[in-house]
Amino acid sequence: MSKIILENMEFHAFHGVMEHEKELGNTFLITVAMEINTEKAAFSDMLEDTVNYQLIYHTIKKQMEIPSNLIEHVAQRIADKLMNKFPRILQLELKLSKMHPPLGGKVERAMIIVEKSRI
């Protein structure tokens, strides 16, 4: 088994419950770690024997374009979509961070971590 990680993908999106979050948006970071059997790809050197990083990225991007109130909802939706669309993913850990959330003080990020597994 191997882990493939796409780290700190950055998106400007409109998730949040406050009106200014819905209008102005915010910066979000996503890291996804996917456990995959890469043995065949390691020997074949063929893209079809692993997951296509570009397709993973675009799947996440499309989900980030759908406004939601809660990052919990967004993260779960992305994790479910990845597991359904990419059967080679055996397990995944998805971290979604809202940067500088409006909490009334200095906070670098609010983060949720979602884990999914087929095994």
- In contact, 58 and 93? CB cutoff 8 Å: no
106 contacts: CB under 8 Å, gap ≥ 6 = none
Place of tokens 């949720």: 112
For residue 54 the two structure tokens come to 């570009």
From the list 3, 98, 106, 116, the catalytic residue is: 98
Q: How do strand 109-117 and strand 26-36 relate by DSSP bridges? A: unpaired
Note if 98 is an active site residue. Answer: yes
Active site residues: 98
